[in-house]
Amino acid sequence: MSLQGKKIAILAGPDYEDLELHYPYIRLIEAGAEVKILAATKDTVKGRFGLPATPHLTFDEAKPLDYDAVVVPGGWAPDRVRRNEKAVNLVTTLHNQGRLVAAICHGPQVLISAKILKGMKATCFSAIKDDVINAGAQYLDQEVVVDQNLITSRMPADLPAFCREIIRWFSKRE
């Protein structure tokens, strides 16, 4: 499946989980998507293990409807990203438009702030399981959970399944 013509945003913040940003970034480009890293500023952000990511656009510059999907990596970044109103608005807008929202590990913290988990099936890193449940989601301890336009995974080891389902989601809409 080619993602040619698809535009995907990846939300970055300080101390993101290195693999959870870079693996989808590379995999989705490899599949043909145009992938942009968004952050609060255009300053290079570093992952928890020091891998840098240079944002293409700021949350303020990004226009939500320019994107077919958004990916929210985990690590400690989601707790910071969720404090940015424009980042949360991007996630809410894409979800409400039926576009893909994908989050892994602590990424669902942003989905909680976007108030899009109520009534959805989701997974996450075990440390925020209670938060996801309290936001109204049905928590499932699986490597990847797909519910309508929401894809969630638990941890870096789940990245192959996470990216496979992102690509598959688009193939079902062709």
Residues classed as catalytic: 105-106
Bridge pairing between strands 144-147 and 121-122: unpaired
Distance CA 130, CA 80 (A): 19
Distance CA 34, CA 6 (A): 6
Percent helix / strand / coil, the chain, rounded to 5: 35, 25, 40
Phi-psi group of 160: left, alpha or beta (phi > 0 → left; psi -120 to 50 → alpha; rest → beta): alpha
Judge contact between 112 and 87, C-beta under 8 A.
no
